[in-house]
């Protein structure tokens, strides 16, 4: 068979490193599409001039463009036969991605555990996104429930220990970043770090009703090949499941209204796709401030 059947649970080995296929150069086109697909308004990622005013060479690509591109490459090897995308942890953005950069993805299998049904298993992978200079731009752990090919195969159990929260001391700030000339009026809101209180909940107010064409354009853009997003024949109800990352980007973009001065995603402590999302759904977003930490950037 010439086509990729995807991997099943027993095809993964602990410690195995998978170099995912199809490197991707991303740039001005992906940036424009990101703005068309999501109501993103962060000034640093919208304007070269603004990015320069805070010490960067130009406007980097949105942190979630990097995430989706890196994630998409893992799908043919990790989640083509996934029953569910269970969670994320220990995510860190380690270097800006600039227009013209080429990203590829590498995953290491760090955990395996059969489910009690015996028909499926959970696979944990630590995925790195690497640019054309070999620099890791993004690093995260994901775990998925994958079908077994044969029920009787026994796979040794190994559950990784994951940090509940990314240690703020390990966060990486883009080199050169300097907020001393940050223009709050141009950025859209006056709120500073000190204005956010632990426990504060922000209703981001805006909402978006999602269309089929939008989530498919987005999901293809990230070269995510999961059939369930594109083919009405994949689910019994004939609906196309929306890529969870599309929802993440919508929520992040909606959060501008109240978090306009939080330009960078520096870590992903945890994440789960708790309910499926379909075209016609109307999405809202809210944030809760769980903690605060200072960085060394001026």
H/E stretch holding 293: none
Q: Is 12 left (phi over 0), alpha (psi -120 to 50) or beta?
A: beta
Which among 36-44, 90-98, 141-149, 166-174 is the span making contact with a copy of itself, rule CB under 8 A?
36-44
Site for a copy of itself in 137-176 (CB under 8 A): none
Q: Which residues contact 108 (CB under 8 A, 6 or more apart)?
A: 15, 16, 17, 18, 125, 126
Q: Does 275 bind a copy of itself (CB under 8 A)?
A: no
Query: Among candidates 121, 141, 150, which has minimal Cα distance to 269?
Result: 141
User: Shortest approach of a copy of itself to residue 214 CB, angstroms?
Assistant: 5
What tokens were used for 253? Answer: 């973009």
User: Shortest approach of a copy of itself to residue 277 CB, angstroms?
Assistant: 15
User: Shortest approach of a copy of itself to residue 265 CB, angstroms?
Assistant: 18
Rounded to 5 degrees, φ, ψ at 112 are -145, 135
User: Shortest approach of a copy of itself to residue 69 CB, angstroms?
Assistant: 10
Q: Which residues contact 194 (CB under 8 A, 6 or more apart)?
A: none
User: Shortest approach of a copy of itself to residue 24 CB, angstroms?
Assistant: 5
Among 13, 19, 159, 290, binds a copy of itself (CB under 8 A): 19
Nearer to a copy of itself, 69 or 120 (CB): 69
Distance from C-alpha of 147 to C-alpha of 149, rounded to nearest angstrom: 6
Which among 37-45, 88-96, 109-117, 139-147 is the span making contact with a copy of itself, rule CB under 8 A?
37-45
H/E stretch holding 72: helix 63-78
Site for a copy of itself in 194-253 (CB under 8 A): 195, 202-209, 211-214, 216-218, 220-221, 223, 225, 227, 230-233, 240
Q: Render the burial of 170-188: b for 16+ CB within 10 Å, e for the rest.
A: ebbebeebebeebeeeebb
Q: CB count, 10 Å around CB of 215?
A: 24
Site for a copy of itself in 45-104 (CB under 8 A): 46-50, 59, 76, 99-100, 102, 104
Among 16, 17, 25, 290, binds a copy of itself (CB under 8 A): 25
Nearer to a copy of itself, 88 or 230 (CB): 230
């Amino acid at each position: 068979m010439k086509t990729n059947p995807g991997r099943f649970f027993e095809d993964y080995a602990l410690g195995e490193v998978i170099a995912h296929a199809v490197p991707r150069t991303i740039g001005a086109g992906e940036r424009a599409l990101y703005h068309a697909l999501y109501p993103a308004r962060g000034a640093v990622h919208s304007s070269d001039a603004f990015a320069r005013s805070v010490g960067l060479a130009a406007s980097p690509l949105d942190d979630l463009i990097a995430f989706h591109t890196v994630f998409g490459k893992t799908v043919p090897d990790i989640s083509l036969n996934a029953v569910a995308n269970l969670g994320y942890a220990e995510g860190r953005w380690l270097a800006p991605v600039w227009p013209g950069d080429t990203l590829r993805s590498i995953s290491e299998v760090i955990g395996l555990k059969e489910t009690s049904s015996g028909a499926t298993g959970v696979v944990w992978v630590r995925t790195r996104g690497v640019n054309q200079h070999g620099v890791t731009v993004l690093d995260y752990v994901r775990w998925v429930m994958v079908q077994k090919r044969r029920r009787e195969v026994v796979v040794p159990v190994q559950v990784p220990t994951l940090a509940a929260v990314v240690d703020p001391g390990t966060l990486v700030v883009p080199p050169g970043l300097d907020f001393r000339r940050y223009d709050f009026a141009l950025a859209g809101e006056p709120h500073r770090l000190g204005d956010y209180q632990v426990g504060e909940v922000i209703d981001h107010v805006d909402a978006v009703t999602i269309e089929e064409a939008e989530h498919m354009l987005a999901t293809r853009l990230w070269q995510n090949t999961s059939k369930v997003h594109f083919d009405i024949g994949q689910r019994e109800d004939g609906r196309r499941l929306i890529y969870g990352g599309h929802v993440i980007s919508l929520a992040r973009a909606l959060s501008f209204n109240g978090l306009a001065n939080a330009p960078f995603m520096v870590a992903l402590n945890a994440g789960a796709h708790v309910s499926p999302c379909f075209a016609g759904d109307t999405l809202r977003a809210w944030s809760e401030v769980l903690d605060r930490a200072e960085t060394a950037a001026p």
